Structure formats: C-alpha cells, structure tokens
C-alpha cells in the first residue's frame, strides 16, 4: 500500500507557520463530547492531532467538551481514556471544558455588557421558527432589545436557579438576516438542572458547545484547531466570539473530511440507537465500529494505527472500502497469530488401517516462525474433517478429498477415501479411509503433491463456541440511509460450535489464533459462560466488495 499521508494540507500549513515564526509551539487537542464511545472516525481525528504535535515536538491535549450533562457520563470518559491508551497514543494533558465554566460565565457577562448578548424568553420552537431557513431570513426576537441592565440581572438570577429549564436562554446578538444561519443569534447559555459529572451541583446553566468550544481552544492556546468539515460555518461564529470577548489568542481552525467506511455507521447518535434498541449487544459488540469493539474482537492496535497513518487528510467527502482497514488487520494477524486446527462442520473419518493407539504429532505454531514454538497434536484413528472438504465426485477446481482419491491432512499423513456410509436421508455419516503411515510430513514416493485439508481428532478435540461475525449492514454505503433497521444484515452474527485441538484449552489471553483455513479468532472476554467462546476477528481471504456474508 502506498503511503499517502506524508504531506497532507494541514502539515503544509504548519510548516509554513513555523517558517514564519507564527507560533513558538504547536499545540493540538482532541475534543470529544463524553456522550458515547470512540469510533474509528474519531480515531482519525485523534491520530491526526497527536501525530502533528509529536512530529513538531508540540503539546497534545485530550479535552472533554463536557457542556451537556444530560447525555454525558463518567463511563464514557473512562472508556475514551482507555481507548486512547490502548491505541498507544500519548496525551500531555487531560482537560475539561467544565474547568473553564467560571471564565466562560464571565465572558458571557462581557458580551451582555457590550449589548452583544441578550436573554430570550421565546420558547425553543419559536426560536427555531424565528431563525428562518436558507431561503427565508430570520426574524428578531421581541426580547432582542431588552436593556443591558435587565439582561445582566436575569442572567445572574439564571445562574442562581430562579428559573425553570427552557423558560429562558442567553443568545448572542449578531444578525438574524445573516446568510450563515449559525450567525442568527445563536444560543450561548441554557438552563439544566442535571448533576454534572465534574462540577456536580455547582451550575444550573451551561454554555453551549459552540460558545465554549472556541473559548476552550483559545484558553489552551491551541495553535491549530482541527475539526471536520461540518464546522466550516461555525468558524465565523468562533471568530466573532473570540474577537468580542477580547481574548488575545485566536486559534486557527482548519477543517478536513470525516472518515467514512463501507458497511459502517460512524455517527454516535446512530450507534447509540443500535445499542439502545438492542440490535447489538452494547457499544463493544464486535460488529460495532468502536475502538472498544475492535479491541474485544481482536484487532491489533498497531494495525489500526497503520491504517490511520495511511488514510488521506483532505477536504473531499469520500467513503473508504472497509477492505482497506481489514487488510491491515489481516496482514498483522498473518504475522502474529498462532496456528491451530478446528473444524466447524464435522464429517467423521475412520482410518481403517490405523491401530487404535494415539500418536502425538509435533507441529509448528507458525509455519514461518520457529520462534513461536511448537505444540503436540493428538492423531487417532477417528478424525473430523470439514464437511465441505469432501465430495463423492470430482468437480473442476475442487481442492478437497474425493471418493477414491488421496489428500494430505495438514501437518500429518496422506489418506485415501475408500468408502462412505450414508444415513437414510442420503447424508454422508462416515468416510472410511486408508492412511499411509510413511507419509508423515513427507510425500509418498512417486505420488504427486496433494492438496491439504485440516482436521481434528474426534476423541481429543474440545468443543468451543465461535461467534462468526459478518457486517452489520447489507449495503456497502449506508451513510445516508434513513431507515437503518431495514438495512441490518440478519446474518451479522452466526454462533456455532467448533471442534478444536485440545491445545486451545490452554489458550493465551493475549494471543490471537488462526484456525487454519477458517479464519482468525480471539478469545471473547465473556468470563461467565461455561464454554470457551472465540470471536472471529476476520476471515482469511478478502471478501468480494459487496458481500456481506462469508
Ligand atoms: P459523531 O458524528 O460520531 O456523533 P461527534 O462529532 O458528535 O461525532 P465528538 O465527540 O464531538 O463527536 O467528536 C470528537 C472529534 O472527533 C471532533 O473533533 C469530530 O470532528 C471528530 N470526528 C467525529 N467523527 C469523525 C469522523 N467520522 N472522522 C473524523 N473525525 C471525526
Ligand atoms: Mg461533536
């Protein structure tokens, strides 16, 4: 894969700023609202900000924009910090917008005193109606010309808890006829009586995201305030606020396009909908595009970082094929996963000429890395192979075992299918095979190279549960789909039994496994179940672009 992120437009801007000595130090931040878990889209922004500060020996802060206690929760704060740690991204400081509530309150008073903010008593709906549309200009609120003195008095009483929620709010006095709707007297403060996770009961009025976001950036002296394209119009408001509250430092905002991935929803609101309506089992359900789900599923953090390093930073809205992310995950697993054998749909084989003893076969844990060690796998006269690995008659390009033909069992012997037994429905129950005792890991003299299939010993295998995950949605591009429920893939999770080598009983919690010829698997963190549960991290082969099931 070509490296594409070397010289994105933001880095070019920073290089120029440094050349012109515009800043002494580069400061960036990642500013999540603690109202959900981080998804891979957030990770794009997180990585970009941290990468830039690191590249120029700057400072990188994590700042929680925590201005809406209704939707925020300490559990989100914890998970965001944990996810960032897991990715291996270093943070210089953790700040909260709520650290600045005193200052932001004073800035609001500065605006009121300049007659640039007023208390509005219009209802929420009326405010919306008066704001107008792209075609219709807005209309002034009847409270717009209230005296400064009255505005100040009410605002102070608002803070003290004299009024009920939604009875009033503080608005900036800008221009109700502006072409930019955001400039039509935006709300700066609203009343909320919820407890706040940081300030607890101290406040009952909270600054809006827009009012506080730019102030927090300015107070932290963020040199390059990076955000996604939907904030372009907000930039004008941010500049207006900073100019009028007279903070000297004005962070420059630069916008880049959001990350979109095929078969994925990257919107907290929609992800929350899926969780709340139980279409998935929580935010870390392995079908979710959240970092906590990726971690649980067994995606490697370094593989995710490699993906983030190589995605384009620009201003074009686009959608990246999920295969790009998956190829990083797969390449990493191919190098690091331990190999074992497991059979999903068993078909019994009896080796007619083998004595009923057990032979232990020494196998490499990774075909190309002796360093990863060996294991002993029991071989016995009854084995299971995959049902799809046997056919009575030859079909072109078929690589499995055919009646009357030979095949190699992975890391063990060549066998020949002699006879089959079927049940009354015509389903094959047993294959009787001959095994060639002199072919352990070597070819029989004069016999052409055989195909290879995997197997497990019937007697010694253990049964585990496997969660086979497919995409959550049937369509590759679902970003703009209104009815998400209609698009949900009914086969996004298939739970099966799998017969695996006994060595997996002593699985390593930190290791990922390749079940040979099936896929990559990782132990699920559900500790309360009797059976071992493994999640399929990813299939071995790249899927067809529009395929949502394997
Ligand atoms: P969502 O759209 O998922 O609801 P959000 O913007 O409301 O996300 P925030 O917590 O405010 O969530 O996001 C923190 C930062 O992550 C913001 O700077 C935002 O621009 C950025 N971000 C959010 N989604 C993406 C994405 N898909 N690609 C890149 N950056 C993103
Ligand atoms: Mg946001």
For residue 45, the ligand 1 atom closest to its alpha carbon is: 30
Average pLDDT across the chain, whole number: 94
pLDDT digits (tens, 9 = 90+) for 327-364: 999 999 999 999 999 999 999 999 999 998 899 999 99
Q: Which residue owns the Cα nearest ligand 1 atom 21?
A: 42
Better-scored residue on pLDDT, 314 or 80:
80
pLDDT for position 377: 97
CA of 35 to the centre of ligand 1 (A): 11
| Cα angle 196-200-201, degrees, rounded to a multiple of 5 | 105
Q: Which of 10-14, 32-36, 276-280, 477-481 is predicted least confidently?
A: 477-481
**Domains of the chain (ranges, CATH numbers):** 9-256 (3.40.50.620), 268-336+464-539 (1.10.1160.10), 339-460 (2.40.240.10)
pLDDT for residue 408 is more than 60: yes
pLDDT for residue 445 is more than 90: no
CA of 228 to the centre of ligand 2 (A): 9
pLDDT for position 35: 97
The closest ligand to the CA of 290 turns out to be 1
For residue 230, the ligand 1 atom closest to its alpha carbon is: 20
Q: Which residue owns the Cα nearest ligand 1 atom 18?
A: 227
- Tally Cβ neighbours within 10 Å of residue 535: 21
CA of 80 to the centre of ligand 2 (A): 14
CA distance 52 to 114: 38
Environment class of 486 (CB within 10 Å of its CB; exposed 0-12, middle 13-18, buried 19+): exposed
Buried b (16+ CB within 10 A) or exposed e, 363-400: bebbeeeeeeeebebbbbbebbbbeebbeeeeeeeeeb
pLDDT for position 544: 73
pLDDT digits (tens, 9 = 90+) for 36-65: 999 999 999 999 999 999 999 999 999 999
pLDDT for residue 546 is more than 80: no
In the chain, the percentage of residues whose pLDDT exceeds 90 is: 90
DSSP state of 473: B
Q: Which residue owns the Cα nearest ligand 1 atom 26?
A: 41
CA distance 135 to 361: 77
Q: Return the best residue to mutate from 8, 35, 39, 42 for the ligand 1 pocket (most ligand atoms within 8 A of CB).
A: 42
CA of 318 to the centre of ligand 2 (A): 19
pLDDT digits (tens, 9 = 90+) for 248-288: 998 999 999 999 999 999 999 999 999 999 999 999 999 99
Contacts of 132 (CB under 8 A, 6+ apart): 138, 139, 176, 181, 184
Pocket residues: Cβ below 6 A from ligand 1: 31-33, 41-42, 44-45, 227-228, 258-259, 266-269
CA of 13 to the centre of ligand 2 (A): 24
Element (H, E) at 170: strand 169-172
pTM (predicted TM-score): 0.94
What angle separates helix 101-113 from helix 234-245, to the nearest 10 degrees?
80
């Amino acid at each position: 894969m070509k490296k594409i992120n070397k010289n994105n437009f933001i880095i070019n801007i920073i290089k120029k700023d440094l050349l012109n000595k515009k800043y002494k130090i580069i400061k960036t931040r990642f500013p999540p609202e603690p109202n959900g878990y981080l998804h891979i889209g957030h990770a794009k922004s997180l990585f970009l900000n941290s990468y830039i500060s690191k590249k120029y020996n700057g400072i990188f802060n994590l700042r929680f924009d925590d201005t809406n206690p209704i939707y925020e929760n300490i559990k989100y704060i914890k998970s965001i910090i944990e996810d960032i740690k897991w990715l291996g991204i270093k943070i210089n400081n953790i700040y909260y917008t709520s650290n600045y509530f005193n200052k932001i309150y004073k800035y609001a008073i500065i605006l009121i005193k300049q007659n640039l903010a007023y208390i509005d008593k219009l209802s929420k709906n009326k405010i919306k109606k008066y704001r107008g549309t792209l075609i219709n200009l807005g209309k002034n609120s009847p409270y717009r010309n209230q005296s400064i003195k009255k505005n100040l008095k009410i605002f102070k009483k608002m803070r003290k808890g004299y009024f009920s929620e939604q009875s009033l709010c503080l608005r900036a006095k800008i221009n109700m006829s502006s072409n930019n709707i955001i400039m039509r007297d935006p709300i700066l403060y609203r009343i909320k009586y919820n407890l706040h996770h940081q300030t607890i009961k101290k406040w009952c009025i909270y600054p809006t995201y827009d009012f506080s976001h730019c102030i927090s950036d300015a107070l932290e002296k963020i040199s390059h305030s990076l955000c996604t394209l939907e904030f372009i119009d907000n930039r004008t408001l941010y500049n207006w606020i900073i100019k009028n509250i007279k903070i000297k430092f004005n962070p420059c905002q630069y916008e880049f396009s959001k990350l979109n991935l095929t078969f994925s929803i990257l919107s907290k609101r929609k992800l929350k909908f899926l969780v709340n309506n139980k279409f998935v089992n929580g935010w870390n359900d392995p079908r979710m595009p959240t970092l906590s789900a990726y971690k649980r599923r067994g995606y490697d953090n370094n593989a995710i970082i490699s993906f983030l390093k190589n995605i384009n930073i620009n201003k074009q809205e686009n959608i990246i094929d999920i295969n790009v992310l998956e190829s990083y995950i797969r390449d990493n697993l191919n190098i690091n996963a331990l190999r074992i054998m497991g059979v999903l749909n068993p078909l019994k084989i009896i080796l007619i000429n083998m004595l009923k003893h057990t032979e232990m076969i020494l196998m490499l844990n990774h075909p190309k890395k002796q360093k990863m060690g060996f294991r002993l796998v029991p071989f016995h006269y009854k084995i299971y192979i995959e049902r799809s690995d046997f056919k009575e008659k030859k079909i072109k390009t078929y690589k499995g075992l055919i009646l009357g033909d030979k095949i190699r069992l992975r890391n063990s012997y060549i066998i020949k299918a002699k006879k089959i037994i079927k049940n009354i429905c015509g389903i094959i129950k047993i294959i009787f095979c001959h095994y060639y005792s002199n072919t352990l890991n070597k070819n029989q003299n004069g016999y052409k190279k055989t195909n290879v299939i995997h197997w497990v010993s019937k007697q010694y295998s253990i049964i585990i549960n496997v969660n086979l995950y497919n995409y959550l949605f049937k369509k590759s591009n679902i970003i703009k789909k209104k009815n998400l429920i209609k698009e949900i893939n009914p086969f996004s999770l298939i739970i099966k039994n799998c017969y695996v080598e006994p060595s997996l009983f002593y699985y390593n919690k930190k290791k990922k496994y390749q079940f040979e010829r099936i896929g990559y698997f990782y132990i699920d963190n559900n500790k309360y179940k009797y059976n071992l549960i493994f999640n399929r991290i990813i299939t071995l082969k790249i899927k067809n672009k529009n395929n949502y099931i394997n």
